[in-house]
Amino acid sequence: MVVWGGIMMSMAAVKTPASLLVARFFLGVAECGLFPGIVYYFSLWYTRNELAFRNGLFFSTATMAGAFGGLLAWQITRMDGIAGLHGWQWIFILEGLPTILLTLVVYVFLPDLPETASFLNATEKQLAIRRLEIDAGPANQRKFSWKEARMAFMDWKVYLHMGMYIFSTIPLYSLAFFMPSVVMEFQLE
């Protein structure tokens, strides 16, 4: 996320549409692991029955960000001329800087696993670990296995899930990314 924030801030310095596209490509590369990474992190703390609600809350934040992001961006563009920067440049800076700062705080304070959480006592750590072991059942392997990775790529249900996810997010992201263009077209007519 530090890389993502850095790329976002550097987008304030772009001069051509081509450089913006290149920066946006690398922003996507830096961002692509965020959602799966957070879902994976949740799975290190919560049982399968608890995951759906937590994942739902997390994905809802993306919707809320979309709902308020435009309003915030509009307000930030009113900073046009401050420090010799255009309003659109401030948008990139003010999205990237807090991301970097928050990432550093999270890196220091967010525990990796229940067994390393400083806010849990020994009994609570054991309880958290035991709950996850019971929920995992026979799937309690801690080492990476190429055989099991290949099995995942051979499972048709993985591809079905990928397709369902892609086709369910196309309307969401199409609307989010192209709505400003559609609104601008309405204003020009």
**Domain residue ranges in the chain:** 1-109
Does this model's pTM top 0.85? My answer is: no
Backbone angles phi, psi at 144, to 5 degrees: -70, 140
Distances (CA, A) of 15 to 12, 26, 82: 9, 16, 18
Beta-carbon contacts of residue 114 (< 8 Å; ≥ 6 apart)? 44, 45, 120, 125, 128, 129, 132
pLDDT value for 73? 83
Averaged in consecutive runs of 10 residues, what is the pLDDT profile of the chain (189 residues)? 94 91 93 89 92 89 78 85 90 93 93 92 94 79 81 92 87 73 65
